[in-house]
Structures are given as C-alpha cells and as structure tokens.
Amino acid sequence: MTFIEPVLTKRIPCGPKSDIKGRHIVTLEEYQRTGGYKALEAALDMEPAALVALVKDAVLRGRGGAGFPAGLKWSFLPPVDGKGSRYLCINCDEAEPGTFKDRLLCDFDPHLILEGIAIACWACQLDVAYFFIRGEYHHQARVVERAIEEAYAAGIFGKQGMMRGKVKFAAECHLHRSAGAYICGEETGLLEALEGKRGWPRVKPPFPAVKGLFGRPTIVNNVETLAAVVPILEKGVAWWKSIGVESAFGGMPSWGPKLMGVSGHVAKPGCFEAPLGVTLSALVNDYCGGMRGGKKFKGAIAGGVSMGVLGTDQFDAVMDFDIGRACNVLGLGTACPTIFDEDTDMIAVARNSARFFMNESCGQCTPCREGSGWVYKMLTRIERGDATTADLDLLVEVAGSMGLSEGTTICGLADGTNWVVRTIVEKFRGEFERRVKPKFVPLHLAAR
C-alpha cells in the first residue's frame, strides 16, 4: 500500500474508504482549534528572508502544472522599493480538463489556503493578494469569500497588521472571479484579466516577479502550492523530504504529498492525497478500487490533458515530476490522471481534446489559432473514416510544429494540442491506421 498520513486533507475525509457525506466546510474556529494559523505565528517570528530560504530548501515544486520551485520563484523578487504595492496572485483558475484538486481545498478547508497566502505575503513582503478563482466555481467562490471575511475579522488580514498587529506588516486579500477562460490559467493571462483586460498571455521577459500586476513585482502561485507551505513550517523540511522520491534523471526531486484527482474508468473516482512517486497502477488499484467493471487498462491522461497520454504499457508509470522524461509526455502537470479502459476510442479522445484547445485558444498566435483548428478538422476526418495515411502523417506534422516548446507561440496552450495529439498517435498508431484509407497512387506512378 502507498498510503500516508493525511496532511493537506487532515480535516477533510477523502481517503479510499471515506464517506464524502461526512465532509463539511471547516470554519475559522474549527481550523484554529485543530492547529490552524500556528504556522503563521511561527512564520511571523522569522525574518522574511529566512522563510524564503526555508521554502527554497524544501524544494516545494509548484503544484499548478509546471513544477517550478516556489522558493526559487520567491527569490526572484527585487528588494522592496517603497514605490507601490507588491502583489501575490493565487491561481485557482482550475480549468485543465480532468483536474479538480484545488476545488477540494476551496470546498472544505479554505483557511489552509489563506494561511499559506498570509505566510507567502510575509515572506515575500507582498501587501496585496488576489485570489483568482475559476468563473464556474460559483459555490467555491462563496466559501472562499466567507473564509476571507472570517480572516479579516480575526485580524489575519487588514490594516492593523498580521495576527492583530503581531507585526506591523499589513496585507490585504481580495477574491477575483474569472470570466471562465482557460487561457487565464496561464500566469500572465491571469495578470491581464486582473487588470481588466482581455486574457492574453504576455511576452516574457519581463517576468512577473520583476514586472507583473500593474507593472509591480508579483508572485503567482497555485492554490495547492500555497497550502503546502503550511505543513512545511509545521513539520519541518526534513519531514517534507521524507515523503516523495529523488529524481531518476539527475534533476530536481519530487518531495512531499500531492493531491491527485482521479477520474475516468475507475471504480471509485475522487481526489486523494498520495506521496509523489506513487505509481499510476497503485493509485488506481489502492485508492480507486481498480478499473471499473473489471476491464483492462488501455491508457491515461497523465495529469491534465495538455500533458499528453500514457500508453497501455505505462500503467506502472511513476507519478513524479520526472514522468515526462520517463514516459514521453510533457510532464506531471496537475497530477490528476484520467483513466481509459480497453473500450475507449483513442481517436475520439484526440479529437475531443483538439476541439477543446481550438475553442480555448486566445487567438494571439497564428500556430495556435489556426493550427488547433486544422488538427481538429483532420481528426474529425479520421474519426469519420474519410482520411488517408497522408492525412495521418500531416496531422503529426502540424501538431508537432506548434507550441512554446517549438518556439512558435507566446504561451504553452498550443503545446496542449501538440502533446495530446502527438502522444496518442504515437502510442496508439495502429488504431489510427485501421481507421484511415491507403493513400491513392495513380497507376502510371505506381508502375515506376
């Protein structure tokens, strides 16, 4: 078994045998009674630079998709210059298909996130925080807004200083609801939306840490990333590093617990807290009760559809940040896999994924705006059985030539089309070849 003692979900029953009917929203009083905001009190006794060094030493990798170390990002901030506000933007624009881990914390334990926000504000000397929440999260927005009101009433945020003036540093926290665009999950698209503009990603550099929201130094962190700061302070870096795995490729390690939302053809879908390094098969069998209906595993989206797809022979893939190098996908992403059984039409999966990215493209970059539409049309033709082998080759060529990793777009949205289509074709090519027709060759050419 791969179970660990719940940390991020210790107030939320979400284990393999838990009953979701037992869940309730954790109030401020209950949160404090169970040790809440003790980590913030300890943080306020530390120098901000020491806090940044602590998170950097823990190698807390971003839980939003990219896996960039949070402490390293915090260290990029310039010194306080007194010329205006410095900002923290909390990315809760959880629009990646198959991803619902941040929603769990917003639904039931919002103060864990708010404590992480307050710690980050003190550590980085950021005096205004914007909680940017997905537009479709109507209930979650109300829950978080009530929690923010409770935090203000308790003196955690507000002009009096943190923890009712324990330090003179004051931070404000505001909820901002997205208009529902997937592209606003990209950090600079999020900043543009916060400024009241169209959600178009920015050309970088300058990076947000130097010139972000309203042209001021800004840190953008995911909800789960900030929530994870709290147990690091409570239990220490050594404890954090006791969970997870070292890099198998000489890169950065994957340490700590991780929320993993599993959906698709499993007996018991849900969001579970598991150690980084758990295998996909263990996640399915130990946490989700196995494949639904006893069917065989065929493939899986690794962690959000934009990361690409795992093949039939990759059921034992290790869920860590090196999964991309090991399994030919873009990365771990949000670590929320979608599982496919033996009856799944992978051509339909590719076509539906391409349709999503085509509709969600902001239109700023030609390869993404036009290429995603071409890819969708070709996949629709293949699914109907009207395509030839030449169309299949053209599909791979077009999909493989668009995206940030190819140097053709400003942000990584086009990579979602690229990786999901390319990995499905590569790992299930026989399925595609059976659906397409042989390329027509004129008789006078065939005779040569």
Q: Give the pLDDT of residue 446.
A: 44
- Residue 40 clears pLDDT 70, i.e. is over it: yes
Per-residue pLDDT at 309: 95
Token look-up 């010139």 returns 211
Question: Is the pLDDT confidence value at 15 over 70?
Answer: no
Structure tokens at 166: 């324990």
pLDDT of 18 reads 62
User: What pLDDT sits at residue 248?
Assistant: 80
Q: Are 229 and 46 in contact (CB under 8 A)?
A: no
At 140-181, the pLDDT tens digits run: 999 999 999 999 999 999 999 898 888 889 999 999 999 888
Residue 1 has pLDDT above 70, yes or no: no
Q: What is the mean pLDDT of the chain?
A: 91
pLDDT digits (tens, 9 = 90+) for 348-404: 999 999 999 999 999 999 989 999 999 999 999 999 988 888 889 999 899 888 888
Tokens of 144: 């978080």
As a whole number of angstroms, the distance between CA 247 and CA 152 comes to: 41
**With pLDDT > 70 as the criterion, what percentage of the chain qualifies?**
96
Cis check for the bond before 367: say yes or no (omega within 30 of 0): no
Domains of the chain: 20-242 (3.40.50.11540), 262-341 (3.10.20.600), 346-435 (1.20.1440.230)
Checking if the pLDDT of 117 tops 60, the result is: yes
Summarised one tens digit per residue, pLDDT across range 332-347 is 999 999 999 999 999 9
Bridge-partner residues for 219, per DSSP? 88
Q: Is the pLDDT of residue 113 over 60?
A: yes
pLDDT at 261: 94
Q: Are 288 and 274 in contact (CB under 8 A)?
A: no
Handedness of CA 286, 292, 296, 301 (dihedral sign): negative
If you compute the radius of gyration of the chain from its CA atoms, what whole number of angstroms results? 23
Cβ within 8 Å of residue 105, ≥6 positions away: 8, 12, 112, 113, 223, 224, 227, 259
Please give the distance of CA 385 from its chain centroid, rounded to a whole number.
Answer: 35
Percent of the chain with pLDDT over 90: 73
pLDDT at 441 over 70: no
pLDDT band at 73 (very low <50, low <70, confident <90, very high): very high
Residue 447 confidence (pLDDT): 47
44-81 as b/e: b if 16+ CB within 10 A: bebebeebbbbbbebbbbbbbbebebbbbbbeebeeee
User: Rounded to 5 degrees, what are φ and ψ at 208?
Assistant: -55, -35
User: What SS3 string covers the chain?
Assistant: CCCCCCCCCCCCCCCCCCCHHHCCCCCHHHHHHCCCCHHHHHHHCCCHHHHHHHHHHHCCECCCCCCCEHHHHHHCCCCCCCCCCCEEEEEECCCCCCCCHHHHHHHHCHHHHHHHHHHHHHHHCCCEEEEEECCCCHHHHHHHHHHHHHHHHCCCCCCCCHHHHCCCCCCEEEEEECCCCHHHHCHHHHHHHHCCCCCCCCCCCCCCCCCCHHHCCEEEEEHHHHHHHHHHHHHCHHHHHCCEECCCCCCCCEECEEEEEEEECECCCEEEEEECCCEHHHHHHHHCCCEHHHCCEEEEECCCHHHCEECHHHCCCECCCCHHHHHCCCCCCCCCCEEEECCCCHHHHHHHHHHHHHHHCCCCCHHHHHHHHHHHHHHHHHHHCCCEHHHHHHHHHHHCCCCHHHCCCCCCHHHHHHHHHHHHHHHCHHHHHHHCECCCCCHHHHCC
Q: Is the model's pLDDT at 286 over the cut of 80?
A: yes
Q: How far apart are CA 295 and CA 342, in angstroms?
A: 7
Residue 240 near residue 233 (C-beta atoms within 8 A): no
pLDDT at residue 440 greater than cutoff 70: no
The answer on pLDDT for 17 being more than 90 is no
The residue with greater pLDDT, 42 or 4, is 42
Question: Worst-scoring range by mean pLDDT, 12-26, 123-137, 291-305?
Answer: 12-26
| Token pair 């039939």: residue | 312
Q: What is the pLDDT of residue 250?
A: 78
- Identify the pLDDT of residue 282: 95
pTM: 0.92
The pLDDT tens digits of the residues spanning 190-222 come to 999 999 999 899 999 999 999 999 999 999 999
CB atoms within 10 A of CB 143: 18
Q: Which of 218, 189, 269 is nearest to 84 (CA)?
A: 218
Residue 106: what are its φ and ψ, rounded to 5°? Answer: -65, -40
pLDDT-derived band at 257, boundaries 50, 70, 90: very high
pLDDT given at position 443: 46
- pLDDT tens-digit readout, 266-276: 999 999 999 99
